[in-house]
Every structure is written in C-alpha cells, then in structure tokens.
C-alpha cells in the first residue's frame, strides 16, 4: 500500500486538449500523477514511476476534470422554474424569494446538502460559486464543499440596494464588516475551499459598498466574481445608475473589482458578457478578466448569445458556466454542447464570420479554459494539477465500433441519458 | 381481474393541455379509460366506472404521452457524431455510410433492437419514423416496434438520385415496385404499426419516382413524410434541380405528396420548415400539412430556427420532432425545452414580435400538436385515445414544496438528470 494516495497511475483511453483546436489521444495510455501533479501521459510506464499504484480503467475514457466557472448554489432547489421570464422578472419572482430562505441554517443545511452531493457526482471538479448574503449559510456551504474534496471558490454575496428588503444587507458599512469577518473565518480554514469577493451585480451594490469591497480586494489579494452585460434591460439600468461609467464593466473597474492585469494572482471572473461593447472587451483583455460563458442561462433568460468566437480571437480568458439556476443543468457536458449549439445559431443568425465552436474548442473551454482560473488546471501535460474524470460509455450503443475521439464526442453529447462517471480526482485526490 | 385491460382508472397528479395556453391540473384526480379511450378526469370515481380496475400512482405526475413527429431509426447508432458539420456534409460523411449498413439484416437486428428498446423506455408514445431504403430491414424495424406496443408510422425511404451508389435505389421503376411490395406486406400486418410514404427529400428523388409515389399515395390513401426547407444550401439546390417549382414544397405538391386538404385522413408531415417562404406556409395551411419542428437538429446542423410563433399564429398543424440523429437526444422532454430555448433566441436575435414559446405551448406541441397526426391523441379530454405517462419526480429536490404545474415544469427541464418514468400507456395498452 502506497502511503501517498495523491501519487498514482491511471490506465485507460486518455484524451485531453493539446491546444484549443487539437485533442491529444492515447489508447491504453498511462496517466502519471505525483503529489497531485501530472507527470504526463505515456504509452508504457516509465521506469521512475514503476513503484506507483496503478488503477486499470481498461476501456473507459479518461479525461481532465471540468471547471464550472459560474453557478449559484442556493438556486439549485428551483432549477427549471420560471423559465418563461427574463432576467429581472425572474430575479424578483423566483431568485430573491428563494435566496432569502438561507437566513435559516436548517434550510441551508438541507438545500446545500443536496447541492453538494449532486455537484460531487457531476463532471465538475472545480467551481466558482455564488452563495447568498448570509455569512453563516455561506460558511456551512463551504464546510460541505470542503467535505466533497472538490476545489472551489465560494462568495458570500454583497447587495445593499435595488433588491427586496428581505434580501438586502443593512448598509454598506454593515455589509463590509460582515464580509471582512467572513473572510477572516474562511480564508485559511479549508484546504480546497477559498473565499471570493462577490458583489452580486452593479445595480444591487452602492458605490460605498463597491469601494469597500475594492479595499478588501487589495488588502487580502482576493479574486472577484460578478455578472456583466447579461441582459439589455440590465445594461441600460447600469448606465442609468452609474452615469459616469464608460460601460458596465467600467463600474467594477473604477472600484478595483475588475482584475489587476494579466498573470495576476487575484483575477476577476465576469459571468455572461453577452452584450459587451468593444471598449469593455478591451478592458477585460487588459485586466486579464475571465469570461464565464453561460450559454444555457443566456438562452433560458432570453438574454442572447455571447460572441464567443470574437472573444477567442481576441485572446480573452474564457471558461464555461452552468449558471444554475439560470441554466437548469448541473452537467458541464451539457454545458459544452450548449456552448457549441448557441455558437452555431450565432453564426447562422447574427454573424457569418463567427465560425461556430467545434467540439474540441468546447472541450478546451470546459477544461483548460475555466481551469486556468485556478492555475495550471485542465490538462494532463506535465505540471498540471491532476483533475481527472473516468467515464464509462459502454451504455452508449456503438454497434459499428468507434475511435476514441468519437467516443468522447458521443459521451459528451449523450452523457445525460447514457453516460456514467466511474472515477473522479481533484489535484490527485480521489473523490470517487 | 378485469378481462379488458384497456379499460382502467389511474389516480395521481394529473395534468394535460386544455388549450395551447392553458394547462388543466387535478391533484389526486382519476383518469378513466374505457376500451383505450379517455372518458375524462374526475375528482372522484363516477358511479358508472366503479367496477374498473384502479392503479393508484399516489404522488406521481400523470400526463399525456408524447408524439415524436420526426426521427430516423437507423441513425440512432451514431447520435452525437459529426455535430460540427452542416446538413449536406453530415449526410455524406455520417448518415449515408451508416444507413448503408442496413442492407444487412444482422446489423439491422442489432441496431434496431437497441433503438426500439430505448424508444419504448422514452417519453415517446407515438412516432413517425424514417428507416432506410431497405425493405427487409424496414419490415424488421416494424416487427420490433409492434412488439413495443407503441403506435408508429414507419417509412421505407425512397431515393434514386444524388446519393451514393451504395445507398440508392436502382431506378424509379425498381424503387416503386419494391415500395408497392413493402406496402402490401405491411399495410395490414400490424395493429399499431403502419407504413408511411417516405421520399427522403426532393434532391434525392427523381421526378419519375415522385410521380410514382404520388400514384401510390392516391391508390392506398397513405400519409406522407419528408423534409422541407431545412437548410439554405439545400433549398438552393432544390431550386436548381426543379427550376419549375414555385418553392421547395411545391415540388412535393406537384406530385401529390403534400397532403390533400384539411381534415384529410392521409396527411403529410414535413420536417423542419426553417426557411419556408410565405407561399410555402400558405400552401401548407391549405393542404393541412403538419410541421415537424425539430429545434435541436436545426441547431446542431446550423440550419437556423423555424419561425414557430408565426406558424402557430397562422394556425398550421405543428408537432415536435427529435430528428435523431440530427438531434442527439431521444427524449421528448428535452425536445420541449429545446423548442422553448430556440424560440427565445429567435425572439431576441431575429424578430422581437415573435413571442417565445411558453412551457404550456411546448407541452401542447409535444402532446396534442404532434398527436393530432394520429387522430384524437395527446389529451385526456373525453374521446381521446388514452396515451399516458406516469412520472416519478421524487428525485428532483424541492425542499420548499411546489405546485403541480411547477413540478411538471421541473420534470420536463430536469428529467434527463433526475426524472423517472414509472408508467406508460398507448391507447390504453400498458407498455410498462
């Protein structure tokens, strides 16, 4: 028995992104992990690793874990509800009333218990998560997530204006005190779970609140998550609320909540970016801001389609998000196919110069694209943290035989009906 | 023990469409079926039905079965493959080579065996299905479908030009002889499985072939299925091949393959209608042609989005189709959510006067909309054939409690991950 369970070898049908366009495939390959870090993929076990414990997954597919770059844990209980509404009505009718329930730790324990169990079983190995304004429930969520072994950022939500009384922080000062205490309580409390600053979105945050959050960001060097340019009514509202801003993202940037330049250790991730003007895109590039592309949510809430091809060409950091419960499905496999699907409609209906996403590109975004928010994550190249999924596709009928690439494609498209994950590792830790 | 198993009562949480806009809901209601025909839904069992056997499904949802108005059985083995291609390339690279395998009855038995088992387990109670050009394999498929107890139309495909040698009928004469023999063999051979004339699509059918099929239609009074105005390259090609036609559908109509007027017993169903010009829509209305709206396929193959709101306003007959394997999912629940999703993007990106489909409308299209191709099918109102699904949604977490309408909505959105069908009936016959 090996003493370090974060060092191992997995054998099987291995696929991972070599680049945005190209998949690397090795049949009956060996993926070697030492102390949670990938050492590479080999056709036979190199001499130096022969003492490591081996798990032979035989005909199963082995590929990198997926990062869900944007989702709301407290919204899980009402996934699939209110899907006939647009963003602002949906927030008012479903989201805000549901989120207010998390002032009860009993309710939070029940609801977050379901959420974390399901997230653990899903293809997601890492996630960047919104909770609610409630610090106790947020800490509970972080406790539960830590127990899953997944690697996550979790944000206690800040909102002190333009939201119902029952879901509003008393004022900027109280919000900031509460947030500071929550940060102190959680910053070093976990191994895999970290806090992230989370102004809900510009309309619900006073200038005083955002200014204070910017200070906290600089004081603690924290990453930031929020929403950006999701819906046309929302962007018009932001312009009205912050008339001095050059564009929506400029509001966050003015308060130091929009990243601090490429390669920084505390990046920002902005969900949606469906209606970002050119200046906003350039600012995101300059500041190294990540786009969390949430295709299903943007469809469900009739927001539109983010111009993902142009973001790729611009060289932005991009990952995918399920955006529960604007998106209804926890599965990152579904998220990949949704991203591909809407990119085809964008090409057909909006801009015929914007080539649709390929499967390889969708896979890249779900693995390396979003994984980069966590560092070297999402690939099996030497030096990457070993996040791994093992997929049994034997229930997907293929009477005619198929290549590994095709098996991967079909698993991604059909996993909700026929796929089964039989192994999951995060930074080398076996989750199941 | 009752002798007539097609007469029964089901108890549970009953929902069905009252109209396109309105859902009828009865908690702890009784659905009464006599000889396969619905007698209505009651709050308590009417005296006259008290002797019928009762199945109490308790807290489960009970709603009408769904009609898949367009799918290709032989394409099931490669669902999820080639999704980065457009229609004509996809046909050439994946569809035609796969369909050619069905010249082997051994292959057909294996592949159709998987398909029919999965269709039986799916939410589909009725379907209108393409097979391939091969009569023996088509008969085998019909045998297997008959065994499932589902109600289906199955079409041996006709194609004698513009397709590879390995998947082409020798000539119009041979094709028509083969088709006539197939019709004789199958027309009265089954209780629930019926033949339907199936010119693949205009480009692959010579004028002589279509003229002969029109004669067969009139001789036997058969329904017809085909494809229409799916893709822009395809519609341009049809214009080139049939320069005399006023529009794509005019080609079918010229040969008597486009329905024969409203209320006729042998209607036509045309898949897609994404790019139908106004004259085509009017002709469809005049002839009572059904639209099989296939939202996922039209997205996957980058065809576009059918203007479903305007078809609804025009009063066309409309149902939904999965279009396997242009669509990758067999589930009609998924098909409903896809139809709603693309209608939102159409509204946002193409025509802001085209209101998105509501959940109620999507549900209507999947039940009564497509069911109407089979007669009085898709509702629980008195006189409708009793096609029923019983759904266990207990795995869909709802810590906050929920109305029946909301439970139905969530089941439809989340069924692929969390839903379970526990009962299925077609015209009163228990399938499982």
What's the confidence (pLDDT) of residue B397? 81
pLDDT value at B261 more than 70: no
Interface mutation vs chain A, best among B74, B76, B322, B399, most A CBs within 10 Å: B399
**Min CA distance, A405 vs chain B (Å)?**
10
- Would an 8 Å CB–CB cutoff place B98 in contact with chain A? yes
**Mean of pLDDT over chain A:** 95
- Would an 8 Å CB–CB cutoff place B323 in contact with chain A? no
- Would an 8 Å CB–CB cutoff place A42 in contact with chain B? no
Which residues from chain B sit within 8 angstroms of residue A303, using beta carbons?
A: 348
Pull the structure tokens for residue B352: 């802001």
Can you say how many angstroms the Cα of residue B177 is from the centroid of all Cα atoms in its chain?
27
CB A133 within 8 A of CB A101: no
pLDDT band at A137 (very low <50, low <70, confident <90, very high): very high
Pull the structure tokens for residue B325: 């394997």
Q: Which residue has the tokens 């069908």?
A: B421
**Minimal-distance CA residue of chain B relative to A418:** B416
What's the confidence (pLDDT) of residue B277? 98
What's the confidence (pLDDT) of residue B398? 78
* Cβ–Cβ gap B304/A331 under 8 Å: no
Tens-place pLDDT, residues A46-93:
999 999 999 999 999 999 999 999 999 999 999 999 999 888 899 999
* Cβ–Cβ gap B349/A347 under 8 Å: no
Name the percent of chain A lying above pLDDT 70.
Answer: 98
- Would an 8 Å CB–CB cutoff place A102 in contact with chain B? no
Residues 293-312 of B with CB under 8 A from A: 296, 299-300, 302-305
Predicted-complex ipTM score: 0.96
Of B302, B329, B349, the CB nearest to A344: B302
**Minimal-distance CA residue of chain B relative to A231:** B348
CA pair distance A234, A228, nearest whole angstrom = 9
Which residues from chain B sit within 8 angstroms of residue A416, using beta carbons?
A: 329, 416-417
Give backbone dihedrals phi and psi of A182, rounded to 5 degrees, phi first. Answer: -60, -40
CA pair distance A270, A290, nearest whole angstrom = 6
* Cβ–Cβ gap A398/B331 under 8 Å: no
**Min CA distance, B297 vs chain A (Å)?**
10
* Cβ–Cβ gap B397/A101 under 8 Å: no
How large is the average pLDDT for residues B100-119?
A: 97
Residues 188-247 of B with CB under 8 A from A: none
CB B355 within 8 A of CB B312: no
* Cβ–Cβ gap B345/A345 under 8 Å: yes
- Would an 8 Å CB–CB cutoff place B108 in contact with chain A? no
**Minimal-distance CA residue of chain B relative to A398:** B77
Q: Which residue has the tokens 């193959």?
A: B301
CB B139 within 8 A of CB B110: no
What's the confidence (pLDDT) of residue A1? 38
CA pair distance A47, A24, nearest whole angstrom = 23
**Min CA distance, B43 vs chain A (Å)?**
27
pLDDT band at B354 (very low <50, low <70, confident <90, very high): very high
- Would an 8 Å CB–CB cutoff place B413 in contact with chain A? yes
User: Which residues, 6 or more positions from A162, have their beta carbon under 8 angstroms from its beta carbon?
Assistant: A203, A204, A241
What's the confidence (pLDDT) of residue B2? 42
What's the confidence (pLDDT) of residue A263? 52
Which residues from chain A sit within 8 angstroms of residue B83, using beta carbons?
A: 337, 340, 359, 409, 413
* Cβ–Cβ gap B345/A349 under 8 Å: yes
Could you tell me the domains of chain A? 8-64+378-430 (2.30.40.10), 66-374 (3.20.20.140)
pLDDT value at A323 more than 80: yes
CB crowding B58-69: b at 16 or more within 10 Å, else e: eebbbbbbbbbb
Element (H, E) at A295: helix A295-300
**Minimal-distance CA residue of chain A relative to B330:** A417
Q: Is the peptide bond before B368 cis (omega within 30 degrees of 0)?
A: no
**Minimal-distance CA residue of chain A relative to B85:** A358
Nearest by Cα to B360 from B340, B387, B377, B341? B340
pLDDT value at A388 more than 80: yes
**Min CA distance, A296 vs chain B (Å)?**
8
User: Per mean pLDDT, which range of A77-91, A288-302, B291-305 is the poorest?
Assistant: A77-91
> What interhelical angle do B135-148 and B172-186 show, nearest 10?
30
What's the confidence (pLDDT) of residue A95? 95
């Amino acid at each position: 028995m090996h003493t370090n369970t974060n060092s191992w070898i997995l054998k099987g049908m291995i696929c991972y992104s070599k680049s945005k366009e190209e998949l690397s495939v090795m049949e009956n390959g060996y993926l070697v992990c030492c102390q949670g870090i990938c050492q590479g993929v080999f056709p036979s076990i190199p001499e130096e690793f022969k003492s490591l414990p081996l798990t032979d997954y035989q005909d199963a597919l082995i590929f990198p874990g997926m990062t869900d770059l944007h989702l709301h844990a407290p919204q899980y209980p009402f996934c699939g509800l209110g899907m006939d509404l647009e963003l602002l009505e949906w927030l008012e009718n479903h989201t805000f009333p549901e989120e207010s329930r998390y002032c009860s730790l009993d309710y939070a324990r029940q609801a977050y218990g379901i959420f974390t169990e399901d997230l653990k079983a899903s293809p997601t190995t890492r996630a960047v998560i919104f909770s609610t304004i409630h610090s106790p429930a947020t800490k509970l969520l972080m406790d539960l997530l830590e127990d899953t072994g997944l690697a996550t950022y979790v944000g206690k939500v800040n909102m002190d204006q333009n939201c119902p009384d029952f879901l509003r922080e008393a004022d900027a000062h109280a919000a900031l005190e509460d947030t500071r205490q929550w940060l102190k309580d959680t910053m070093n409390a976990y191994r895999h779970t970290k806090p992230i600053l989370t102004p809900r979105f510009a309309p619900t945050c006073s200038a005083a609140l955002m200014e204070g959050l910017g200070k906290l960001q600089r004081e603690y060097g924290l990453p930031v998550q929020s929403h950006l340019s999701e819906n046309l009514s929302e962007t018009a509202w932001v312009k009205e609320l912050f008339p001095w801003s050059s564009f929506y993202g400029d509001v966050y940037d003015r308060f130091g909540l929009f990243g601090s330049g490429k390669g920084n250790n505390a990046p920002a991730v902005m969900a949606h970016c469906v209606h970002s003007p050119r200046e906003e895109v350039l600012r995101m590039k300059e500041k190294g801001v990540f786009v969390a592309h949430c295709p299903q949510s943007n469809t469900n809430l009739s927001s539109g389609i983010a111009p993902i091809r142009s973001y790729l060409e611009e060289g932005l950091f991009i990952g995918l998000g399920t955006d529960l419960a604007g998106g209804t499905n926890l599965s990152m496999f579904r998220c990949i196919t949704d991203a591909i699907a809407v990119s085809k409609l964008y090409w057909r209906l909006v801009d015929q110069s914007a080539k649709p996403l390929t499967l390889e590109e969708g896979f890249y975004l779900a693995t390396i694209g979003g994984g980069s928010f966590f560092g070297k994550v999402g690939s099996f190249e030497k030096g990457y943290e070993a996040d791994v999924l093992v997929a049994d596709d034997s229930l997907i009928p293929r009477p005619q035989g198929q290549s590994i690439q095709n098996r991967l494609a079909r698993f991604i498209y059909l996993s909700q009906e026929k796929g089964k994950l039989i192994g999951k590792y995060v930074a080398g830790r076996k989750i199941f």
